[in-house]
Homo-oligomer: A and B are copies of this chain.
Amino acid sequence: MSQPTEHTPERPSGRAVPTSADVARLAGVSRATVSYVLNNTSAVRISEPTRRRVREAAEELGYVPHAAARSLRAGHSRMVLLPTSHVPVGPLYSQFFNEFQWALRRLDYTVVQYGSVGLEAEEAARAWAELRPVAVVSLGEVQLTGQGVEILKRSGARAVITLGTQGVEGTHALVMDQGRVGEVATAHLVESGRRRIGVVIPEEPGLAMFSGPRLEGARRAARGTDATVVPLPLRYDEESANELAARWRELGLDAVFAYNDEYAMLLMRALQDAGLAVPEEVAVVGADDLLLGRLLRPRLSTVRIDMVLGRELAELVDRAVREPEAPPRTRSLLASQVVRRESS
């Protein structure tokens, strides 16, 4: 998109791409008539024979309207911009994401994913604004600033929605309360009589957005009790897990909240291989309620996260677009609930 070339390149297959003017010429009518016919404009009456001639001409030439020209003329589009992340998200999130896209499309929006690798917040906002989207739904990779929001709104965006662990001024903020996940998990462990509680922090980049708040929530739950919380960095591989398990006794922990079920399964296996009894010596709690967690022995306790339906969020976007004056409101996106199985 950056630097347009100097001259229009030749079409390889010889023929230029047909425009409505070509259709008009072939059908022997004016270009306006073509537009009226092809858009089924009800205010203008065109005779049936003419309509047929136009349609046939369009068909013969393989005419397809030019979306850019159309939205330029119209002064607005129905594009919803979704800055994409390259975060290695889990199945829960990606299912939500797919459903969200699908629902937006049902509402006749054009969903455009646009990545902004290595761009500053304001720079990214400017790049997005070039596309003149009617709405921007930021999914957290780029932390949108108030300045960035201003740029977007000035460029015609009727709604800016942020989805993240905390709200952004001037936007419809959808807050995924990750802290709550850590909180309920830890509270559950404390209530079960555990006192020294480890919290796994994935070392994989891009997950800090989630793991930080979860740790914070765990600390919140421990506050006011005699339990303590210990952060445990962990890579998602067996070596790292075995290493952590090997120094488990010196850490003196009797429970662990393992970020999610995948890390929990990895760590639980390493603990068992190191000779620690689960849940007698160590209680293990994951998150996301994956099916696979139920296959282990003992069955993995977990935090079930009920994410808002993609469809609901799509409707919220639609409302925000139609009523741009409505005051932006912050809303919580997920409910967390412990599912106790055998590992805790």
Q: Which of B115, B117, B238 contacts A291 (CB 8 A)?
A: B238
A62 within 8 A of B: yes
- A-side interface residues, number (CB < 8 Å): 78
Query: Do A39 and B3 contact each other (CB < 8 Å), given the known contacts A110-B114, A117-B106, A130-B65?
Result: yes
Q: Nearest residue in B to A95 (C-beta to C-beta)?
A: B88
Q: Give complex CA distance A112, B99 in Å.
A: 17
A75: chain B residues at CB < 8 Å are 8-9
- Identical chains bound together, number: 2
**CB <8 Å contact, A15 and B154:** yes
**CB <8 Å contact, B292 and A265:** yes
Query: Do A238 and B151 contact each other (CB < 8 Å), given the known contacts A74-B8, A113-B112?
Result: no
**CB <8 Å contact, A115 and B102:** yes
**CB <8 Å contact, B111 and A114:** yes
Q: Which of B62, B108, B130 contacts A66 (CB 8 A)?
A: B130
Measured between C-beta atoms, what is the minimum distance from A82 to chain B in Å? 8
Q: Give complex CA distance A106, B17 in Å.
A: 28
Q: Could you tell me which residues of chain A, from 265 to 315, have a CB within 8 Å of some CB in chain B?
A: 265-266, 269, 291-292, 294-296
**CB <8 Å contact, B291 and A292:** no
A65: chain B residues at CB < 8 Å are 130
Interchain residue pairs with CB less than 8 A apart (26): A1-B77, A1-B79, A2-B108, A5-B76, A9-B76, A12-B158, A13-B154, A17-B132, A17-B155, A17-B156, A18-B154, A62-B150, A62-B151, A64-B155, A66-B72, A66-B130, A66-B132, A67-B132, A68-B131, A68-B132, A86-B98, A86-B101, A88-B95, A105-B117, A112-B114, A262-B292
Binding site for B on A (CB under 8 A): 1-5, 8-9, 11-13, 15, 17-18, 39, 62, 64-79, 82, 84, 86, 88, 91, 94-95, 98-99, 101-102, 105-106, 108, 110-115, 117, 126, 129-132, 150-151, 153-156, 158, 236-238, 262, 265-266, 269, 291-292, 294-296, 324-325
